[in-house]
Amino acid sequence: MPSLSDLGEFGLIDRLAAALGPVASPGLVRGIGDDAAVYRIGTGPDGEARVHVVTTDALIEGVHFDRTFVPMDDLGEKAVAVNVSDVCAMNARPRYLTVALGVPDGFAVDDLDALYRGVRRACERYGCTVVGGDVTRSPALVLSIAAIGEAEEANVVYRNGAQVGDLLAVTGDLGASAVGLRLLRDPALRLEASAFPYPVRRHLAPTARLDAVEAFAHAGIRPSAMLDVSDGLASEIHHVCRNSGVGAVVQRSSVPIHPQTVAAAARLGVDPLGEAWWGGEDYELLLTLSAIDLSGLPPGLVTVVGRIVEADEGVTMEDDGQRSAFPGSGFDHFGEPHEELGIPSC
């Protein structure tokens, strides 16, 4: 019998899916294996097929966050954002949430109020509504959210649509959240965290990129594949390539990293690029698209970091014209390599 660390997070998901048995539902478009599940809900006013996308993510004290340095309103906002991010990764818009809350004995009511202020702030930002949930006693604080989003079926983007010749791009910048967490986790460096507000805020209260989904719609383009960067760029690129049956060449120098992330990484003595590869919780979008579609997007919305190639070329990194093996997978909740960083998978 393999252990959890033998299986790894994705091996475990495969095993659990096998235990559930085959799925037979005519309305189901996509089940386990993408950022969110997709099922048909009928047709819209113009006869277009409409779908819901459904996802769930839990934030657990001692695994995903440490109450000694995470403000409760930020935690509430983040719990919503990580779910909305998975909805956005499907090129859908969030509509409804349920919130399951586990509260330890003695937890301050003021802190619960703050937690829900954060949930409300995020709901207002992303235009979604909490419609129910559950409250229970728990040995640690647990915030588990399920999100339902909506889209036209033809607009939904999966992980498996990347085409040879497409460009590989990301929104925003990477590695900031991992660097922010390192600052916050070190009691000595925490005092200096105010010198690096950007990575700290990116860790405590990340933003889901609903604005990018709206920009794609406005420009009339649909990425060929997309997912959110929750486990580090390396892991997510491998997901796209494995799911799409393609390879990729990533330009080492083009990975976008914020100047404060670089400065904080120098203070910490870590490689900022490594934080982008293997860190996590950036909640940016990684997408593939054609050059023509790229030209229709607002300048600066995405950064091209590479291109999609034939599967037999594998996944490689290009640096000064030299190609080398691409770094391996990102954070794995149940195993190596970045468990010591404590960045969980969402």
Residues that bind Mg ion (CB under 5 A): 35, 86, 228, 230
Amino acid, res. 35:
D
Three-state DSSP class for residue 226 = strand
Do 230 and 281 contact (CB within 8 A), yes or no?
yes
Sequence-ordered list of residues with C-beta below 8 angstroms from that of 127, at least 6 positions apart, any chain:
93, 94, 210
Q: Is 268 left (phi over 0), alpha (psi -120 to 50) or beta?
A: alpha
User: Least distance to Mg ion from the beta carbon of 89, Å?
Assistant: 5
Do 280 and 337 contact (CB within 8 A), yes or no?
no
User: Least distance to Mg ion from the beta carbon of 346, Å?
Assistant: 7
Rounded to 5 degrees, what are φ and ψ at 34?
-120, -170
User: Least distance to Mg ion from the beta carbon of 55, Å?
Assistant: 8
Amino acid, res. 272:
P
> What's the alpha-carbon Rg for the chain, to the nearest Å?
20
Do 176 and 203 contact (CB within 8 A), yes or no?
yes
Nearer to Mg ion, 200 or 285 (CB): 285
- Residue 293: in which H helix or E strand, if any? helix 291-295
Nearer to Mg ion, 57 or 73 (CB): 57
Rounded to 5 degrees, what are φ and ψ at 153?
-55, -40
Nearer to Mg ion, 51 or 53 (CB): 53
CA distance 188 to 169: 36
User: Least distance to Mg ion from the beta carbon of 35, Å?
Assistant: 4
User: Least distance to Mg ion from the beta carbon of 71, Å?
Assistant: 24
User: Least distance to Mg ion from the beta carbon of 156, Å?
Assistant: 14
Which of these, 94, 56, 126, 86, lies nearest to 284 by C-alpha position? 86
User: Least distance to Mg ion from the beta carbon of 85, Å?
Assistant: 7
Chain residue whose CB lies nearest Mg ion: 35
Nearer to Mg ion, 213 or 265 (CB): 213
Strands 285-289 and 247-251: unpaired
Do 338 and 235 contact (CB within 8 A), yes or no?
no
CA distance 10 to 14: 6
Q: Which residues pair with 103 in a beta bridge?
A: 137
User: Least distance to Mg ion from the beta carbon of 322, Å?
Assistant: 32
CA distance 298 to 307: 20
User: Least distance to Mg ion from the beta carbon of 136, Å?
Assistant: 26
Q: What is residue 115's DSSP assignment?
A: H
